[in-house]
Amino acid sequence: MNPKQVLIVYYSFSSQTNRLVQQLAAGLEESGVSVWLERLEPAVKIDLPFTSSWSMFKTMVSSYFRSRTPVLAPSYPENVDWDLIILGGPTWSFFPSGPVLYYLDAFAGDVVRGKNIIPLISCRTYWRMHFNCLKEMIGECGGQILDPIVFKHSGKEPWKTIGLCLKLLGRLPRGEESWFRKKHPRYGHAPEQYELAAQKGRELGEKLVSSS
């Protein structure tokens, strides 16, 4: 019998979604599911760190107004009857990131129609407006959105927000001895969350394999 086939389409700016998705895919594959990983690439590279506070601010404001960031055409095969699609990406100013919005407008219609879609959201804290926006857009494409998989950054406020800004500006202190690192040891997700993503992949895979 042919294995179940899962398409994971995702965008990642600062590697957090990428690492979660790699773990999720490994978990799915361990369960005997075949996975196609498609990372969305902006047509014009976005610099990380941002070149200035002003360019970071502009991206945040335009993201709030759901501006689209053009991405290159995806390379997954067109005629596959995917058993499940996972759409991953970061929250940008409460909403899906510009590259994911562009992908949904420009490329998702045919692949999403009639399919189950699970959003995977990587965020500092806020994800509900992001999820609602995806729900609306995927519904318009004829897809069925399922419960999201959400990972919030580890740590406490205000350090998470300060850490995010410092990361985006390339100013996160490197030395483990710095007072900031003592307050907030890392930007993004914790190792246990990556293990959780793998576990989630195994569970999803087992569910898919056992459903026929």
Ligand X SMILES: Cc1cc2nc3c(=O)[nH]c(=O)nc-3n(C[C@H](O)[C@H](O)[C@H](O)COP(=O)(O)O)c2cc1C
- Interface residues with ligand X (CB under 6 A) are 12-18, 59-60, 63, 90-94, 122-126, 164, 168, 188
Min dist CB 151 to ligand X, Å, is 8
d(CA 59, CA 134): 20
Least gap, CB of 145 to ligand X (angstroms): 19
**What are the distances in angstroms from CA 110 to CA 80, 167, 188?**
11, 37, 33
**Of 146 and 190, which has the nearer Cβ to ligand X?**
190
Nearer to ligand X by C-beta: 43 or 48?
A: 48
Q: How far is the CB of 189 from ligand X (least distance, A)?
A: 7
Using CA atoms, how far apart are residues 52 and 154, in angstroms rounded to an integer? 26
Tell me if residue 198 falls in helix, strand or coil: helix
DSSP string, 141-164: TT-EE-PPEEEEPSS-TTHHHHHH
Nearest distance in Å: CB 161, ligand X = 9
- Least gap, CB of 55 to ligand X (angstroms): 10
Provide the CB-side half-sphere exposure for 120 (13 A, CA).
Answer: 30
For residue 119, the cross-strand partners are 87
Q: Which residues contact 182 (CB under 8 A, 6 or more apart)?
A: none
| Closest CB 92 distance from ligand X, rounded Å | 4
Question: What's the maximum distance between 2 C-alpha atoms anywhere in the chain?
Answer: 57
Amino acid at 25: A
**3-class DSSP assignment, residue 122:** strand
Of 4 and 127, CB closest to ligand X: 127
